[in-house]
Homo-oligomer: A and B are copies of this chain.
């Protein structure tokens, strides 16, 4: 998110992992702290920067910007700037990320199901 050192072991490892594994590659694209939450909010249509912020009260403006920028760079959201003052910018899912919606649903279901089990195990 800040720039990364081109040839740290860390970076090299990430590259070789994602290059060798489509699954890891895919999950990396949605793997920032707030990314999936943002994407979920966009599932029902365009939203302005400020609207997303209101929907995710704990996020800071900086984080929201960073995550949106990466999502944009990776082609998961489309950003539209209107030449107005005060500025207006909106964000929406791209075609590419819309393809993920059914998968997200399955993952969500899996999460819901097993979160319950785990809570059950803990409280039991």
User: Closest CB of chain B to A64's CB: distance in Å?
Assistant: 12
Judge whether B23 and A111 touch: CB under 8 Å: yes
Give how many copies assemble into the complex: 2
Q: Which residue of B lies closest to A103 (CB)?
A: B106
Q: A104: which B residues are within 8 A, CB to CB?
A: 23
Whether A31 is near chain B, meaning CB under 8 Å from some CB there, is: yes
Q: A27: which B residues are within 8 A, CB to CB?
A: 27, 30-31, 36, 107
Instruction: Count residues on chain A whose CB falls below 8 Å from chain B CBs.
Output: 39
A33 to B115, CA, bound (A): 22
Judge whether A103 and B99 touch: CB under 8 Å: no
- Residue-wise, chain A 12-52 has the 8 Å CB interface mask toward B (1 for contact) of 01101100111111110111011011001000000000000
